[in-house]
Amino acid sequence: MSTDFLLPDLGEGIHEAEVLGILVKEGEAVKEDQGIFEVETDKAVVEIPSPVTGTVEKIHVKVGQTVKVGMVMVTFGEAAGSIPAKKTEEAKAPVAQAKPAEKAIAEVSARSSGNGAVITGRPVPAAPATRRVARELGVDLNQIAGSGPGGRVMREDVVAFKEGIVAGGAPSKLPAAPKVPDTVSVTTMYGGPKKEGETLEPFSTSYVEMPDFSKYGPVDRVPLRSIRRKIAQSMATSWAHIPHVTHCDEADITHLNESLKKHEKEIAERGGRLTLTVVALKAVASALKKYPQFNSSLDEKTGEIVFKRYYNIGIAVATERGLIVPVIKNVDQKSLPELAIELNDIARKTREGKIELERLQGGTFTITNIGAIGGTNMVPMVNYPECAILGMARSTQKPVVRDGSIQIRWILPMAMSFDHRLADGAESAYFVRHVINCLEDPLQLLLEV
């Protein structure tokens, strides 16, 4: 019996994806969980595994095509001997329905035991990216106790399980994150020119007619797609719905820099990078608890302010494909070493295009740090539907007056943009001052109850 596989729901707010690669051919036998497609959403590159063991009868899509959730991607037929003649009712159930990814991709869990019998049971909850890592490392997900919500197996669980067997401990060092080039590649960031058969939709229904720029010289026309399109839509939404106000201040991080240098080696040995952003995460979480209006959103439909009682902070990461904001969950519950390790991990995977979709969702506040690139200050835009964002520029040595004398200190420029409907300027000044106090005196974080 043939089975159609539909593009599943790939995450919150994701309705379509671009096919980057087709990893199988028609007539090829595939195994359950084997990668069959690589697609790019407006948030990340995702590998879609096969939900069944069988034969690829027909591939309905092509590279470069934009597919929507619920579209037929491939039709499977049974491979000879791959599924026993006596199937259970669970194995007969149709697989490819437009459901959440972890359910649609792993609907059928038919595994052979040592005596050839079929074992059917609850699928292991894990994201496609996590399954790919497990395949690459040769790890059976069924042997891993997941640390995520509802027992979900995370990538860290797979890596820890593998290292526990092979190495007996965590790696002493993680590879350095690849450098983001300072030149823009049209092919990388924008996906190149229009592809054959590609249909372009207007970016806005209230567009303004453009002049004919080609009259004045050669031009290139490149579709606004994928991540760049999502960024454009998000910025337009943020600017249209949020009355932005920005408060600027400076922090003296001289003592903090000394502490970071003192402890960076021991954190590096545990697989993390102890940076200013790591400490800023804890400082912001502390400030959000004291000033909850900046951890909220305005529901315009109901006229209610939604106060979140969890602290999930996004970190803006510059990549070749555009700005992406992975989220560190429950920052208030994690130690500085834990945050240093997790931030290093998500930044690296985000730049490589391998960040898991679940780690791109659920943010309540965002931090953006352009210090590694430069700039004396910035005016960041709020990451809608959040209500505030903290920007940090490059810290520099400046002469400042301390106790009646001029001293050379490391000064960090900071700017927080916020939704003026939910907070006022004085409140933002108190918020930023609280963050500054934590950066200038990190011991304050340890004294909090």
Confidence of residue 117 (pLDDT cuts 50, 70, 90): very low
Domain boundaries for CATH 2.40.50.100 within the chain: 3-121
Is the pLDDT higher at 103 or at 271?
271
Topology at the third CATH level for domain 228-447: Chloramphenicol Acetyltransferase (3.30.559)
CATH 3.30.559.10 boundaries in the chain:
228-447
Amino acid at 383: N
Give the pLDDT of residue 100. 39
263 catalytic, yes or no?
A: no
Beta bridge partners of 233: none
**pLDDT (0 to 100) of residue 186:** 57
User: Class of the 3-121 domain?
Assistant: mainly beta
For 277-336, the pLDDT digits (tens) are 999 999 999 999 999 999 999 999 999 999 999 999 999 998 877 889 999 999 999 999
Residue range 229-245, pLDDT digits in tens: 888 888 899 999 999 99
Which pLDDT score is estimated for 337? 94
Rounded average pLDDT over 399-427: 95
Return the higher-pLDDT residue of 420 and 86.
420
Q: Please tell me which of 167-176, 190-199, 344-353 the model is most confident about, judged by mean pLDDT.
A: 344-353
Q: In this predicted model, which residue has the larger pLDDT, 73 or 95? A: 73
Candidates 15, 247, 420, 434; catalytic one? 420
pTM of structure: 0.65
